Each structure stands twice: as structure tokens, then as C-alpha cells.
């Protein structure tokens, strides 16, 4: 509660929220993830099924996408999960390209390249994966070594008690422009940076014959090559879910302000007139 007579008027001020390192990392990795996703779907199309366990049977996938002849005699796409078939004609399993119907798990517009070209898809995937993996490793080291970065994304004592309030505010699309991240953002970024992205990189390495020979323990860690492939795709689609939520929140919490922060570094925040004038915590280098 404010003291009697305190000035509670709010004002906006422009700060430098993101440094050049963070901004470059963000946009290069956004491009890498897009290439990885689309080329990964191309690779999946070559064998559109996922399995689980060291002794998994290729006759019993946990998930598959394909097409079969329907009651009307025409091909119908389907997504099968543990034997449960979901019709997906026009999106998954059966779609049209260049005016012709094609049996392919993911449609042409979602894959790189758009034609069914596995070799080129693998080249795109591996090129983007090495760039992404090196940048991720460097950024994780930087996030741990930098005291400023640890303060920015680390969850500090007492912040968890505000979690319920932040969840309620986000559910009502009420956002406060602030210099740092709120507890929901911090928990999400920590989960993505230190769990989801490393999981995707490590499971990808597990599927490589060269890495399998060098680090055989990865195969045992993830329960076999087929389990690693399944976890790889699960991680990829969890990242897609994170991306859509991230874009939605950017749009509803001030698209211009957020985009400016990630392009130029400048960001406008709200501050009470009676607050201290000390420089807020930002991500400057």
C-alpha cells in the first residue's frame, strides 16, 4: 500500500532491454528452428511412424500418419495413435500438390524442400542443426557465466509466491510492461533453454551413427534409437507449441514494443513517479 500523499502516477520510460548478443541469437535461432522443423517433416515423410523401446516392433507404431481407401473408394488421410485412427484428409496423410493427390504424411507447404526429396531435406536439417547446436551451447554457457543474465532469467527467492497472481493476470490478458521478466516468463525460458532444447539436440545426436559409435551411452539414456526419434519429434512439437504461445503473447501484450525490443533493443516500461530512479535490470552486454 502506498504511503499517504505518495505520488502514484505512472509514466513510461524507454530502456535498453536486449543486448546485441541476445537479439542476434534470437533471430538466427528462429531461422534455424524454422529450417529444422520443415526439413524434419521432410525426413519424417520418408518413414511416417514413431516407435518406442529397444525392442520396438515396426509392425506396432505408437503413432503413424498415412492414407487408406475409404468407404467411397477414395484415399483418405489418417493419424493413428496407438491404433486409434483420426481422419485428416487434406492436411495429413493425403493432400494435393500441383493439382494432384499425394500420399505423404505432411503436405508440401510444410516441408523443406516441398517435393519429396529426402537427401536434400537431410542436408538442410544437418546444416541448420550444427549452427543451432553450437549457438545453443554458447548461449547456455553465457547464461550461466553472466551474473546479469542469471539475475534476468533466474527465479529468485520470493518470486514463486507471485505465480498464481501472474497466471490469473495472463489468463485475463493483462500485462504490465516491466524491465525484466515475470515469474511465468522465467520458468518458461528456463524450461525451454535447459530442458527442451538440449533434449532435442541430444536425441538428434542419438540418431546419428557417428555419435552412436562415439557416445553409445546416449542410446541407452533415451531407450534406443526409435525412442530417441520419438522424443525428438515430441520435443520439436512442444517447441512449436511454445512458438505459437510466444507469438500470441507478443501480439496481445504490445506487438510494436516487443518487436522493437528484439530488433533495436529499445523497450518502453511503466514506472510509478515515486519509484527510485535507479537503472532497471536489463539484458545489456
For 126, other C-beta atoms within 10 Å of its C-beta total 14
What's residue 25's pLDDT? Answer: 85
Q: In this predicted model, what pLDDT tens digit does every residue of 10-31 receive, in sequence order?
A: 567 777 777 788 888 889 989 9
What pLDDT shows up at residue 26?
A: 86
Confidence at residue 161, expressed as pLDDT on a 0 to 100 scale: 78
Distance between CA atoms of 111 and 3, rounded to whole angstroms? 60
pTM (2 d.p.): 0.79
Q: Does residue 197 contact residue 133 with C-beta atoms inside 8 Å?
A: no
Give residue-wise pLDDT tens across range 106-161. Answer: 999 999 998 889 999 999 999 999 999 999 898 888 888 888 878 878 887 777 87
CA distance 264 to 242: 23
Give the separation between CA 133 and CA 130, rounded to whole angstroms: 5
Place of cell 522493437: 260
- In 3D, which of 163, 145, 157, 154 has the Cα closest to residue 186? 154
Phi, psi of 63 (to 5 degrees): -150, 140
For residue 27, the SS3 value is: helix
Check residue 214 and give its pLDDT.
85
DSSP letter at 278 equals: S
pLDDT tens for each residue of 157-179: 777 877 887 778 777 777 766 65
| Rounded mean pLDDT, 166-193 | 77
Q: Tens digit of pLDDT for each residue in 32-55?
A: 999 999 999 999 999 999 998 766
Using a pLDDT cut of 90, give the percent of the chain over it: 30
Q: What is the pLDDT of residues 217-263, one digit of tens each?
A: 988 889 888 999 999 999 999 999 988 988 887 887 778 887 888 88
Report the mean per-residue pLDDT for the chain: 82
Residue spans of the domains in the chain: they are 10-49+110-272, 50-104
Query: By C-alpha distance, which of 191, 176, 193, 179 is closest to 151?
Result: 179
Tell me the CATH number for domain 10-49+110-272. Answer: 1.20.950.20
Q: pLDDT tens digits for 39-96?
A: 999 999 999 999 987 666 677 899 999 998 877 778 899 999 987 889 998 889 988 8
Rounded distance between C-alpha atoms, residue 270 and residue 237, angstroms? 35
- Cell of residue 104, nine digits: 505423404
Question: Cα separation of 153 and 143, whole Å?
Answer: 8
Cα 248 from chain centroid (whole Å): 13
Q: In Å, how far are 70, 86, 99, 103, 170 from 96, measured between CA atoms?
A: 17, 19, 6, 9, 39
From CA 197, how far away is CA 139, in angstroms rounded? Answer: 12
**SS3 call for 160:** helix
Amino acid at each position: 500500500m502506498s504511503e499517504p500523499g505518495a505520488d502514484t502516477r505512472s509514466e513510461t520510460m524507454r530502456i535498453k532491454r536486449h543486448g546485441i548478443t541476445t537479439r542476434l541469437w534470437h533471430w538466427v535461432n528462429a531461422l534455424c528452428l524454422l529450417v529444422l522443423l520443415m526439413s524434419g517433416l521432410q525426413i519424417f515423410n520418408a518413414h511416417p511412424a514413431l516407435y518406442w523401446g529397444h525392442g520396438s516392433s515396426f509392425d506396432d507404431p505408437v503413432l503413424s500418419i498415412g492414407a487408406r481407401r475409404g468407404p467411397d473408394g477414395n484415399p483418405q488421410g489418417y493419424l493413428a495413435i496407438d491404433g486409434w485412427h483420426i481422419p485428416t484428409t487434406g492436411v495429413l496423410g493425403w493432400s494435393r500438390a500441383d493439382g494432384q493427390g499425394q500420399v505423404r504424411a505432411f503436405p508440401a507447404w510444410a516441408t523443406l524442400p516441398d517435393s519429396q526429396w529426402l537427401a536434400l531435406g537431410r542436408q538442410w536439417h544437418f546444416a541448420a542443426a550444427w549452427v543451432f547446436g553450437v549457438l545453443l551451447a554458447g548461449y547456455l554457457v553465457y547464461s550461466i557465466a553472466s551474473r546479469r543474465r542469471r539475475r534476468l532469467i533466474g527465479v529468485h527467492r520470493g518470486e514463486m509466491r507471485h505465480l498464481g497472481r501472474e497466471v490469473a493476470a495472463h489468463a485475463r490478458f493483462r500485462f504490465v510492461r516491466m524491465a525484466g521478466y515475470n515469474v511465468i516468463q522465467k520458468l518458461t525460458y528456463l524450461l525451454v533453454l535447459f530442458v527442451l532444447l538440449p533434449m532435442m539436440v541430444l536425441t538428434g545426436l542419438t540418431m546419428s551413427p557417428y555419435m552412436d559409435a562415439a557416445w553409445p551411452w546416449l542410446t541407452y539414456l533415451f531407450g534406443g534409437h526409435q525412442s530417441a526419434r520419438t522424443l525428438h519429434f515430441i520435443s520439436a512439437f512442444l517447441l512449436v507449441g511454445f512458438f505459437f504461445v510466444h507469438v500470441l503473447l507478443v501480439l496481445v501484450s504490445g506487438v510494436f514494443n516487443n518487436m522493437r525490443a528484439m530488433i533495436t533493443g529499445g523497450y518502453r516500461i511503466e514506472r510509478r513517479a515515486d519509484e527510485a530512479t535507479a537503472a532497471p535490470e536489463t539484458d545489456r552486454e
